[in-house]
Amino acid sequence: MLDHTEDEAMLVDAVERFCREQLADALPAHSREHRFPTELVRAFGELGYLGTAYDPAYGGAGLGTRGAALVAEILARTDPSFAAVFLCNSAPASLIARFGSDEQKREFLEPVCAGRMIGSFGVTEPHGGSDVANIRTKAVRDGDDWILSGAKIFSTNAGTPLHGFSTVVAVTDPDKGPKGLTSFVVPVGTRGFSVGRPAAKIGWRFADSVELYFDDVRIPDRYRIGDPGDGLKQVLSVLSIGRVLVAATGLGLARRAIDLSIAHGRDRRLFGKSILEHQGLAFPLADVLTGIHAAELMVRHSAMLVDSGRPFRNETSKTKLFASQLAVDAALKAVQVHGALGVFEDCPAASLIGEAKVLEIVEGTSEIQRMVIARELLA
């Protein structure tokens, strides 16, 4: 574990205590039932952890991406699905924090920091997948309002009892292509705005992911985020920051995989000694421990770049790619350590495979990360 500032050390201690005292015993039932843990998320938010990264002027802790990454890692070491609720709220909140008006921050970011609501991110569409620029949801100017029509998919946190708003990117000038996209914030309860029903997933089991529907949704111009045409660069920036939190979640998951492997392996004996003394299992776990050390350094470095205002897109892609692959590898090795027990659903290690695989897909698939990184070859 790398050194922390005094504020970070206090944050780590507090979040670890919350996980130990309130989450560890309660979350397995929510995971089995694919049931959003409303009261636990509310309690977590009321302690101010949802606002870890944000400006104290709006109720945040001011600890930036580095602080948020610490929270995501600690949550994932307890339950990656709870970390997913945190990181998926961070995307819409960060969009408003970085590009929104003071009025928008007062109306939406402050309640997030106070734990009164969470947000969802509306970018991906049924036909588009990773092609963020190929968006069909439209927003047409009508006097002092905009009228939104279209749909989004895979919007996590939407439709839950704490869902207060969604941020949405839409086409406002079709003739300008990617430069004709604009971001908006749409409050829950706006006429014509609705969400679909959540479906069971192999990971993020209680972090609901649904479709968003915009049926001629009328919103005032004050809910436009930034200038018209800035939507794509805003979304790409927020996605790049989100990759740090996905990587931190992968790091926490890998630590959980090691925790479970050690706990089981110490008590399991074969041929007269602990199974952790057999090189066939010990060496693969040594590789995971090495990866954990590397991922921690990468997460810390990427977060520093974001918080210092330096270029960060390529580094966050490398970090997300590495840490998400580490998470999958660690999960598979944890199941292997558990042997036949690892294939049963009630084995804690078994659920890590699905949780880890999600991390290779969200906030840009591994293939997308390689495309971003490979551009360095031609720079």
Cα–Cα distances in Å, from 268 out to 245, 259, 292, 329?
34, 14, 24, 22
Distance between CA atoms of 182 and 122, rounded to whole angstroms? 12
Catalytic site residue from 107, 211, 315, 363: 363
- No. of H helices and E strands in the chain? 12, 10
Distance between CA atoms of 168 and 178, rounded to whole angstroms? 15
Considering only CA atoms, which of 73, 75, 69, 49 is closest in space to residue 304? 69
Distance between CA atoms of 161 and 189, rounded to whole angstroms? 12
Radius of gyration in angstroms for the set of CA atoms belonging to the chain, rounded to a whole number = 21
Q: Which residues, 6+ apart, have CB-to-CB distance to 374 below 8 Å?
A: none
**Cβ–Cβ < 8 Å for 204, 142:** no
> How many other C-beta atoms can be found within 10 angstroms of the C-beta atom of residue 12?
17
- 62 token code pair: 């001011």
**Cβ–Cβ < 8 Å for 331, 285:** no
59 sits in the region (left: phi over 0; alpha: psi -120 to 50; else beta) called: left
CA dihedral 351, 356, 359, 360 (to 10 degrees): -130
Cα–chain center distance at 99: 19
270 sits in the region (left: phi over 0; alpha: psi -120 to 50; else beta) called: beta
- What sign does the CA torsion over 70, 74, 75, 79 have? positive
Distance between CA atoms of 273 and 217, rounded to whole angstroms? 66
Q: What is the DSSP letter of 160?
A: S
363 in active site? yes
Active site residues: 363
